């Protein structure tokens, strides 16, 4: 049955001149059929470069919003409208403006794992891969970092000359990866390197051999001479890690590394979305332009 559904999806993608994007945390079968897989913002950027009329974004709501911000001329579909991000929901524009009022003149650096409205109330965005570069690019010695406190604290240790005001948001999935769970895996696999995402708690990142974004994990594991890795991020990443490096062993750091929102989207959902060309994600133009300004400022920074 799944093969028949995949064929219908591929046929409809051609019919609608559509591109299928899948985040690194999606179900294996969704990543398998996608045109492009990757980090959330990288997917949106790649989609904006295509000649597609329709973007089918297999991810969560803020990701589809980013695609709509960067590709206003394309129709953006989110197969599961209920696929949200708890961390993105931990900050609202009103709350952010209230914090700004307490710290006048201080720039707001906002992680892309946030709503379009929050991006619109920010000065510059960042990803987990470029957050340090973004922070270093700011002339100010003080900044507000929204919404992920763990990513912010990870970055702060490399720029001791800057003062951070942290928003107390977090990723529930990474937060569930406890120090005890990681220590147990390290005992069970003493020959493995431990890699984790900077959304993890500080006591967990302190144990890591390497801390990086999901795309960074692919590069690191593919080029490392090591043959075994304990992986500290959402379980969906194992699909491509194993595909890229079939000669290496990957062990999930904790069974708690499972995001229910990332696992909502099924092949059946994608098929229905292409059949109905819905649900459509739209960003009001005034918000889109302001949010795009924050993204553009980030994208203009030369890479290290």
Q: pLDDT by residue (tens digit) across 149-200?
A: 999 999 999 999 999 999 999 999 999 999 999 999 999 999 999 999 999 9
- What is the per-residue pLDDT for 278? 98
- What is the per-residue pLDDT for 190? 98
**Residue 112 clears pLDDT 70, i.e. is over it:** yes
Residue range 115-129: mean pLDDT, rounded: 97
Which residues on neighbouring strands pair with residue 128, listed in sequence order?
Answer: none
Specify burial of residue 25 (Cβ count, 10 A radius: 0-12, 13-18, 19+).
buried
The string over 74-98, giving b where at least 16 C-beta atoms fall within 10 Å of a residue's C-beta and e elsewhere, is: bbbbbbbbebebbbbebbebeebee
Tell me what the pLDDT averaged over the chain comes to: 97
Residue range 41-55: mean pLDDT, rounded: 93
Peptide bond into 147 cis (omega under 30): yes
Provide the CATH topology of domain 177-252: Rossmann fold (3.40.50)
- What is the per-residue pLDDT for 153? 98
Tell me: the pLDDT tens digits for 2-35? Answer: 899 999 999 999 999 999 999 999 999 999 999 9
Residue range 106-119: mean pLDDT, rounded: 98
CA trace torsion 50, 54, 58, 63 (10° rounding): 70
Segment holding 99, helix H or strand E: helix 93-102
Residue range 109-121: mean pLDDT, rounded: 98
Name which of 23, 78, 85, 73 is nearest 48 in CA terms.
Answer: 73
Domain boundaries 88-171+289-299, corresponding CATH code: 3.40.50.10800
Segment holding 193, helix H or strand E: strand 193-196
- What is the per-residue pLDDT for 302? 82
Q: Which residues of the chain form CATH 3.40.50.10800?
A: 2-84+262-282, 88-171+289-299, 177-252
Provide the CATH topology of domain 2-84+262-282: Rossmann fold (3.40.50)
Lowest mean pLDDT, pick from 41-45, 147-151, 259-263, 264-268: 41-45
Reported as a pLDDT band with limits 50, 70 and 90, residue 41 is: confident
- What is the per-residue pLDDT for 304? 57
Cα 95–chain centre separation: 22
> What does each C-alpha distance from 271 to 57, 282, 301 come to in angstroms?
12, 20, 38
């Amino acid at each position: 049955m799944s093969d028949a559904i995949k064929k219908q999806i591929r046929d409809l993608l051609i019919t609608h001149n559509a591109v299928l994007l899948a985040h690194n945390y999606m179900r294996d079968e969704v990543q398998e059929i996608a045109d492009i897989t990757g980090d959330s913002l990288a997917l949106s950027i790649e989609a904006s470069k295509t000649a597609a009329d329709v973007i089918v974004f297999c991810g969560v709501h803020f990701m589809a919003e980013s695609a709509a911000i960067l590709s206003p001329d394309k129709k953006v579909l989110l197969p599961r409208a209920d696929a949200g991000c708890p961390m993105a929901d931990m900050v609202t524009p009103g709350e952010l403006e209230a914090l700004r009022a307490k710290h006048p003149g201080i720039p707001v650096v906002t992680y892309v794992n946030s709503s379009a409205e929050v991006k619109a109330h920010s000065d510059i965005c960042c990803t987990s891969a470029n957050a340090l570069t973004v922070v270093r690019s700011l002339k100010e010695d003080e900044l507000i970092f929204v919404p992920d406190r763990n990513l912010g604290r990870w970055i702060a240790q490399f720029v001791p000359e800057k003062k951070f005001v942290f928003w107390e948001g977090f990723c529930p999935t990474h937060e569930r990866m406890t120090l005890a769970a990681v220590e147990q895996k390290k005992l069970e696999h003493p020959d493995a390197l431990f890699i984790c995402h900077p959304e993890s708690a500080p006591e967990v990142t302190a144990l890591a051999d390497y801390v990086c974004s999901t795309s960074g994990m692919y590069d690191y594991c593919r080029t490392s001479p090591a043959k075994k890795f304990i992986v500290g991020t959402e379980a969906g990443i194992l699909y491509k890690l194993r595909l890229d490096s079939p000669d290496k062993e990957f062990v999930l750091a904790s069974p708690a590394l499972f995001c229910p929102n990332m696992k909502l989207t099924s092949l059946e959902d994608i098929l229905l979305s292409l059949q109905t060309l819905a649900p459509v994600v739209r960003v009001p133009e005034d918000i889109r332009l302001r949010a795009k300004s924050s993204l553009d400022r980030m994208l203009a920074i030369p890479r290290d």
